[in-house]
């Protein structure tokens, strides 16, 4: 989508997508894009679609509309990167103004002693042998500026507003012609321009910073002053400086007393406004205060994001708990119960009871690969599919095949679901089932014999077109059957030992005489007691089926 990035006279930046055929611009509140600038007419200009392109035209404004400094007399086609000027505002067409700062990649050696460690400038008030205050034309005195910075930077604000406030203070203190603030991107570790400004509080035509200065500042934690860069032998090879005719420049690190987070650069092509050592010290101190505030701002925003995520997770957990059945519908001759313990706020395990005709019931257990919110999202999708397929009377093998084909199309290559689905027929205790790579359920008969249900196919979501065979067994009066996820057997204690299948089987024997709800409570107690203070890394799902004695 086409867009413009607006830089207002007060230094603010905003983006407006060209999402409607015609956008009116001016100071009236009736415009689609309102700019609070008294030099603008009430309806100053328009950007409108013609075919596949957008055109800009002046709407009969008093002060006119410019495109790249040329008067717009007729509807004109702007190109990417073009600047539309309306009074004190600039609109950049399909480009970000921050991109107009370039760091040249030509390495240039730097010699001499006109760079000073930033720590020395901040901790030593007589660094560089100068204790003079700023000339009157600079504006406020250093102490007043630093006090004002302390007051303004206490206020919590979004990062974008904070960075603009920092540049406001710097321009007030030093009266530069141009300047910009760059932050190091945590992912790419590269400098990215965040605020670019000139003395009219707009966005500069484009500033080039030599790589050797940026390296001195960021890597060397040095503050750089050049009173006349055109004749400074330290920068005699710095073509990017000479080409712009810069007479005086300051560049300092955004250093928070621990690490460099970026840099601030200001310059002037007005020789009467050349910077002095006191300016370098003042800018270094302002940048240090700003860096501390930027770090605090990031930590604050991270805290807010974590809290918001936690609220979202808690809400997701409530939804997930509601998706889990509270109890099994009554099945004559059976006592059935289930439980789920996610290792995080939400999890990727599930179980379900789905009533069928003739007092039959489906019993299902599933386990998504992975944990947390991604696994929970997949499981909610899976659960919806299962319940949808349950609306029709289909064989279990066909249900498993349909689920597998759907998941094979939607899951990533490293994702899958293990799944066990059984249908209980209370008339004679017959249980038909399919197993898609899930842990084989454990059965204890009324005579105390223990076995596992045989027959299994591949997990769901890996290979489409799989046929899942259906199996059948009979649960006699007094038999119990435990369905479980591998989080139960793979739970670790503080020494790194697994709970294991042998312990699970032993615990199942101990609860064989209890009702299903009470039996599950004891199994949970045994597993969690074994884990103790050790963190759990997987969800635990347990489902107990008991054929009652008539």
Using one digit for the tens of pLDDT, what is the confidence trace for 173-202?
888 888 899 999 888 888 888 888 776 544
- Structure confidence at residue 109 (pLDDT): 39
Query: 197 near 87, Cβ under 8 Å?
Result: no
Per-residue pLDDT at 140 exceeds 60: no
Q: CA–CA distance from 381 to each of 63, 121, 396, 534 (Å)?
A: 59, 59, 19, 31
Same-domain status, 116 and 61: no
Domains contained in the chain, number: 3
Rg of the chain over Cα atoms, rounded to whole angstroms, equals: 35
Q: What is the pLDDT of residues 257-315, one digit of tens each?
A: 889 999 999 988 755 567 888 889 899 989 998 888 888 888 877 777 777 777 777 77
- Is residue 164 in some structural domain? yes
Band (105; pLDDT cuts 50, 70, 90): low
Same-domain status, 456 and 477: yes
Q: Tokens 């670019």 label which residue?
A: 196
Q: Which residues touch 445 (CB under 8 Å, ≥6 apart)?
A: 451, 476, 478, 479
Strand partners, 28: none
CATH number, domain containing residue 177: 3.30.450.40
Same-domain status, 84 and 107: no
Q: Which residues touch 270 (CB under 8 Å, ≥6 apart)?
A: 177, 247
Pairing of the two strands 540-547 and 334-341:
antiparallel
Average pLDDT, the chain: 83
Same-domain status, 266 and 288: yes
- Got the DSSP string for 195-250? EEEETTSS--S-EEE-HHHHHHHHTT-EEEEES-TTT-GGGTT-HHHHHTT-SEEE
Same-domain status, 82 and 118: no
**Which structural domain range is residue 87 located in?**
3-93
Same-domain status, 256 and 369: no
Query: In 10 A of CB 365, how many CB atoms?
Result: 25
- Is residue 161 in some structural domain? yes
Q: What is the pLDDT of residues 150-181, one digit of tens each?
A: 777 666 677 777 888 888 888 888 888 888 99
Query: 392 near 399, Cβ under 8 Å?
Result: no
Q: What percent of the chain has pLDDT over 90?
A: 42
The pTM of this model reads 0.53
Band (546; pLDDT cuts 50, 70, 90): very high
Q: What is the pLDDT of residues 459-502, one digit of tens each?
A: 999 999 999 999 999 999 999 999 999 999 999 999 999 999 99
Same-domain status, 178 and 231: yes
Same-domain status, 285 and 154: yes
- Is residue 318 in some structural domain? no
Output DSSP code: residue 437: B
Same-domain status, 260 and 358: no
For residues 386 and 380, what is the distance between their CA atoms, to the nearest angstrom? Answer: 10
Structure tokens at 173: 């203190």
Same-domain status, 243 and 386: no
Band (358; pLDDT cuts 50, 70, 90): confident
Per-residue pLDDT at 543 exceeds 60: yes
**pLDDT average, residue stretch 327-336:** 89
Same-domain status, 119 and 44: no
Band (217; pLDDT cuts 50, 70, 90): very high
- Structure confidence at residue 111 (pLDDT): 39
- Structure confidence at residue 206 (pLDDT): 66
- Is residue 360 in some structural domain? yes
Strand partners, 435: 420
- Is residue 131 in some structural domain? no
Angle, to 10 degrees, between the axis of helix 159-174 and the axis of helix 142-152? 170
Q: How far apart are the first and last CA of the chain?
A: 71
């Amino acid at each position: 989508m086409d867009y413009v990035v607006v830089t207002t006279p007060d230094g603010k930046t905003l983006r407006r997508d060209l999402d409607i055929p015609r956008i009116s611009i001016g100071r009236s509140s009736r415009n689609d894009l309102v700019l609070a600038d008294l030099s603008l007419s009430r309806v100053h200009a328009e950007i409108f679609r013609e075919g596949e392109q957008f055109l800009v035209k002046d709407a009969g404004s008093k002060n006119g509309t410019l495109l790249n400094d040329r008067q717009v007399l007729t509807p004109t086609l702007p190109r990417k990167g073009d600047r539309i000027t309306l009074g004190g505002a600039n609109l950049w067409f399909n480009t970000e103004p921050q991109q107009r700062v370039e760091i040249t990649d030509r390495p240039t050696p730097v010699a001499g002693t006109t760079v000073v460690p930033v720590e020395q400038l901040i901790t030593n008030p007589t660094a560089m042998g100068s204790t003079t205050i700023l000339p009157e034309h600079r504006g406020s005195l250093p102490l007043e500026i630093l006090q004002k910075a302390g007051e303004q930077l206490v206020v919590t604000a979004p990062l974008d507003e904070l960075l603009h406030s920092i540049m406001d203070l710097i321009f007030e203190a030093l009266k530069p012609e141009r300047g910009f603030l760059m932050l190091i991107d945590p992912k790419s570790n590269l400098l990215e321009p965040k605020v670019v400004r000139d003395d009219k509080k707009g966005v500069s035509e484009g500033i080039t910073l030599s790589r050797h200065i940026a390296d001195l500042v960021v890597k060397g934690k040095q503050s750089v002053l050049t009173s006349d860069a055109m004749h400074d032998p330290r920068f005699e090879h710095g073509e990017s400086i000479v080409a712009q005719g810069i007479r005086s420049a300051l560049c300092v690190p955004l250093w928070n007393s621990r690490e460099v987070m970026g840099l601030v650069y200001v310059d002037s092509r007005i020789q009467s406004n050349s910077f002095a050592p006191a300016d370098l010290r003042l800018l270094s101190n302002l940048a240090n205060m700003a860096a501390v505030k930027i770090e605090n701002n990031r930590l604050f925003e991270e805290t807010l994001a974590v809290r918001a995520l936690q609220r979202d997770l808690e809400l997701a957990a409530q939804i997930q708990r509601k998706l889990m059945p509270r109890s099994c519908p009554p099945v004559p001759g059976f006592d059935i119960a289930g439980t789920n313990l996610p290792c995080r706020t939400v999890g990727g395990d599930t179980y379900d009871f789905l009533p069928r005709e003739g007092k039959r019931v489906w019993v299902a257990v599933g386990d998504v690969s992975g944990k947390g919110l991604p696994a929970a999202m997949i499981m909610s999708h899976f659960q919806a599919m299962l319940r949808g397929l349950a609306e029709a009377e289909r064989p279990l093998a066909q249900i498993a095949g349909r689920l597998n084909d759907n998941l094979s199309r939607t899951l990533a290559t490293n994702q899958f679901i293990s799944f066990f689905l059984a249908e209980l027929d209370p008339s004679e205790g017959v249980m038909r089932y399919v197993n898609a790579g899930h842990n084989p359920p454990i059965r204890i008969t009324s005579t105390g014999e223990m076995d596992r249900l045989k027959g299994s196919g591949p997990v769901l979501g890996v290979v489409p077109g799989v046929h899942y065979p259906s199996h059948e067994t009979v649960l006699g009066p007094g038999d119990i059957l435990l369905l479980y996820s591998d989080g139960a057997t793979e739970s670790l204690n503080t020494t790194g030992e697994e709970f294991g299948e042998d312990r699970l089987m032993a615990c199942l024997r101990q609860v064989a005489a209890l009702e299903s709800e009470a039996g599950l409570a004891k199994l949970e107690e045994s597993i969690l007691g074994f884990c103790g203070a050790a963190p759990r890394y997987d969800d635990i799902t347990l489902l107990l089926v008991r054929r009652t004695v008539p």
